[in-house]
Structure 1
Amino acid sequence: MPERRSLGSRVAIGVIALLLVGGVVVAIASFAYGRQAARSAYDRLLLGAANDIAETITIIAGQPVTDLPLSAFQLLALAADDRIAYAVRGPDGALLTGQDTVTPANPPRDGGAENIWFSDAAMGGEPARFITVTRRFAERDFSGTVTVTVGQTLRARNDMALGLTRDALIATAIGGLALMGLALAVIRRAMRPLDHLAEDLLARDPRDLTPMDSAVPAEVAVMIDAMNRFMRRLDRQIGSMKNLISDTAHQLRTPVAAIRAQAELIAEEPDSRKRDLMLGRLSRRTRSLGTLLDQMLARALVIHRTDSAQRLPVDLRDVALEVVESRDHELLSPQTEVELRIGPDPAMVLGDEMSLVEAAKNMFNNALRHGQAPVRIGVSTEGDKVSLWVEDAGNGPPPELLDRMGQRFERNAASRGQSAGLGLSIVRAVAEAFEGELTFERRETGFRVALTLDQIEETA
């Protein structure tokens, strides 16, 4: 058996992966922010030192002279592990003071202050950051620009950037662990209805097919509703099987015993005239038993198909036409006039064609047996409803029987024992399976039985 992972573990793995991806993004952003913050802080120190040196430049005897201020080196000394370099040059590039290896970089072309710019270069084989500040003089005995260049290695900057990144990652890790713990607790709590559902299913009696409690979260309710619909279908199937077994045992015992008794009496009857009469009664009982068996099996088949067969668009006009074209009425009641009334417009419903045809045949045959000529079968549309109806010219059953019409083995008094009482029961089962309705109506033209279903749009 393949290893099965729980839904909780899958969600937990997804949350952990999301937190890890978020941690990587935060680490990258923290490092970028740390570098930017460190560069901005130490660039200000370089700027302050360069400005301090530039401000001490004076013109003496027509030559620029600088007195290096202590404050400039105190600023640069804040990065104790870094090396520094500086150079002060005159208008012709001549070195006034500092290291000859330090040369001012060309000013940038893309803007910035005209007299201040930064550059990156090497200092003794180590990366460094440089700033160049210019100071213009226009005096009687001297005119020109003096440049001050100050450089510093990047050790303190890198340490500051790493420190900021480390602190951000520590805070992120602590927060991530806290969020992970909270997420696992929330996931466990969210999965609790599934545990209760599993416990409920395990504790149920195998014969208990009642609906399960639907007071659960919406995500779980979808599964509960599907399970309840499945159990309802299964309950109907089992109920149909139980009814078929009990009906068979109950309804067949008497006619089978009567047929056996009559067969024995016929075998012992010497009078041929009486034997012929007894054979006639035996033939009628045999036909009645065959009708009972046909309807019992038809009812069981219809209930099974309404739960298992795929529902497809069906035109009720085709159903009515098939009932008439099967010409069963010519055998059941050859003297009865039959009329078909269907219109030109489609009457589409969603259902199983075989079950609908079986229901229509039972309504039609019921009218042929117990109604008065003429018998009409047709289809009519009213709003979003479509009705498949059968009507005869009679008054229908007595009012006290109307409420019981459609129940199993309910015989109309007019049947005189010639019906099994299952015909309209089959129609009612089809109506309930397809969310429809079985109705009985006395009209001016006669008694009408109608199977009414929801109409759907015609498919191409």
Structure 2
Amino acid sequence: MAERYAARSLLRRVLGAVLSILLLGGLMVAASTWRNGQQAARQAYDRILLGAASDISESIRIQDGTPVVDLPVSAFELLAQAPDDRIYYTVRKANGEMITSVDGSLGIHIPDHRGGATAYFDAELNGEPARFIRVVHRFAERDFSGPVEVVVGQTLRARKAMTAGLVRDTLLPMVMAGLALVLIAWLVVRTALRPLEAITEDLAQRDPYDLTPMATDRLPRELQVMLAAMNRFMGRLDGQIDAMRNLISDTAHQLRTPVAAIRVQAETAMTEAEGSGHSRAMRRLLSRTRSLGDLLEQLLSRALVVHRTDSVSRVPVDLREVALDIVERNDHALLTPGVDLRLEIDETPVMMRGDAFSLGEAAINLLGNALKHGKPPVTVGAGQYGRTAVLWVRDAGPGPDPAIIERLGDRFNRNAGSYEKSTGIGLSIVQSVAAAFDGSVQLNRDKKGFSAALVFPACVRRP
């Protein structure tokens, strides 16, 4: 059932909703119209009964001490306005003596109404429901004194016909208007769905690798919001695919040379006899293997960082803890044993919004570059300067040439002294992390040496 409901088109849902509203409204209007029609018919025909009973009552006269009735034609003309209804009338004295009646054997039960001279009541007339009126005419003459009761009634056929006619006359225009509204709703929905059909056709005709943003011009506001979200999603997906392509390209580009060199050096080591030549070949093989391991770690680190910066939510991070964690992990001792590594942080938190893991990977790469290409002592620190939170690594060396600094962060960028020891992937990771969290990378040379810093907007401190 849920799958069937989910598969229904938007057009059917809107039309179904419109029809449901119209049906519900029609039922409410029909019930209200039926009730109002009954009241209108009752009031109209009750007046006819009252007019006929009043005419008969006014025609009563006292003759020789006895009430006499000359039934007026006007009374029957009034009752004739409901030609299909059966009528009843009777005139009697207070003691129940019949003066005149259409059929005294009908035995209509007339309730006693002592509250007034005129009263309506319902009863059956020849097995049909009927409406009656009782009018009392009081005489106070010498020959006769007392009340004379006039009862007039008729069945309810005309009343029901009048009620049905009122309901029919009211609902027929509503039905026509409802059909017109459904047609208009269908046309409006079809027109509103044309942009969706165009978007669907555009997506169906696209190349699977085409993730360029879709145009949002001349579209309804709701569709612009949807397409904007879709474009952002495709942008993130394109970034992930681009990162995957770069990883594959980087892996293929970087692994080809060291793997070939390892194979050649392994073959050389096998052919070398035991001695100094064999030991030198084994050292070269070991060096190549370590270099390949470092390269693989950087490639995987870059892929992981790019993935996390796009998928992990930002949380408040204290850059002091990132710097402290790098120093306490002591991973630098494996790369450069005995190096003079220092930590420089304040007591005040240095807060920004980001991902602690990605920031740690970026800082590790900054530290690795300083250890490989700089001069001790190497310092890792964090601090807040105005509205910026800074995580930095400084060494005592002069740093690379200005021309090389301009190209730092490009993948596979090597200087003259690094050869295969540097690929530029480390600073590429740093720049990716900085861009992901609205920051930047700043490289500076001063009297203390060369520093590389990650600069981010600081979190606003609340008192």
TM-score, normalised on structure 2?
0.80
Shift of 1:398: 5.6
Give secondary structure in 1 for the equivalent of 2:150.
strand
| Equivalence for 2:29 | 26
Alignment of 1:85-164 (within 5 A): 85-98=88-101, 100=104, 101-102=107-108, 104-107=110-113, 114-137=116-139, 144-164=146-166
Deviation at 1:120, TM superposition (A): 0.9
Residue number among 420, 425, 428 corresponding to 1:425 in the alignment: 428
Cα distance change of structure 1 residues 366 and 241 upon mapping to structure 2, 3 Å threshold: same
1:138-188 Cα deviation digits (max 9, x unpaired): 566655444332111111111121222233333232222222222222222
- Matches of 2:94 and 2:392, distance apart in 1: 116
Kept after mapping to 2: 8 A contact 1:27/1:165:
yes
CA–CA distance in structure 2, aligned partners of residues 36 and 414 of structure 1: 105
**Identity of aligned pairs, percent?**
48
1:71 maps to which residue? 74
Asked if the contact 1:347–1:379 (Cα under 8 Å) also holds between the matched residues in 2, the reply is no
CA drift of 1:450 comes to: 1.7
Provide the aligned length of Structure 1 versus Structure 2.
Answer: 448
Q: 1:27 to 1:346 in 2, by over 3 A?
A: farther
What is the distance in 1 between the residues matched to 2:126 and 2:166? 28
In structure 1, distance between residues paired with 2:92 and 2:352: 98
Amino acid at match of 1:377: G
Instruction: Pick from 309, 322, 325 the counterpart of residue 325 of structure 2.
Output: 322
Deviations along 1:222-276, one digit per CA (max 9) or x if unpaired, are 5434433332233222212222232234344455556666777888899x88887
The CA distance in 1 between the partners of 2:288 and 2:358, in whole Å, is: 28
Shift of 1:41: 1.6
1:39 aligns with 2:38: no
Task: Verify the 8 A CA contact 1:12 1:184 in the aligned structure 2.
Answer: yes
Q: What's 2:298 paired with?
A: 295
Unaligned residue ranges in structure 1 (runs of 5+): none
* Partner residue in 2 for 1:192: 194
Q: Would the alpha carbon gap of residues 381 and 127 (structure 1) be closer, same or farther in structure 2, given more than 3 Å must change?
A: farther
Distance 1:67 1:432, change over 3 A: farther
Distance 2:168 2:256 in 1: 90
The answer for the alignment partner of 2:343 in structure 1 is: 339
Secondary structure of the structure 1 residue equivalent to 2:152: strand
Shift of 1:115: 3.5
Q: CA RMSD in A?
A: 3.9
2:236 corresponds in structure 1 to 233
Counterpart-to-counterpart distance in 1, 2:171 and 2:385: 72
Instruction: Give, in whole Å, the separation in 1 of the partners of 2:327 and 2:111.
Output: 104
Query: Within 1, Cα distance between the matches of 2:122 and 2:272?
Result: 130
Match of residue 245 from structure 1: 248
Paired residue secondary structure (2:123): strand
- Letter in structure 1 aligned against 2:300: L
Q: Which AA in structure 1 matches 2:410?
A: Q
Q: In the superposition, relative to structure 1, how do residues 400 and 346 fare at CA in structure 2: closer, same or farther (>3 Å)?
A: closer
Of the structure 1 ranges 366-375 and 187-196, higher mean CA displacement relative to structure 2 is found in 366-375
Tell me by how many angstroms 1:390 deviates. 1.7
What is the Cα deviation at residue 364 of structure 1?
3.1
In the alignment, the residues of structure 1 paired with residue 41 and residue 191 of structure 2 have an alpha-carbon distance, to the nearest angstrom, of 45
Cα deviation for residue 19 of structure 1 reads 2.8
TM-score normalised according to structure 1 size: 0.81
* Matches of 2:14 and 2:461, distance apart in 1: 42
Residue 82 of structure 2 aligns to a residue whose secondary structure is coil
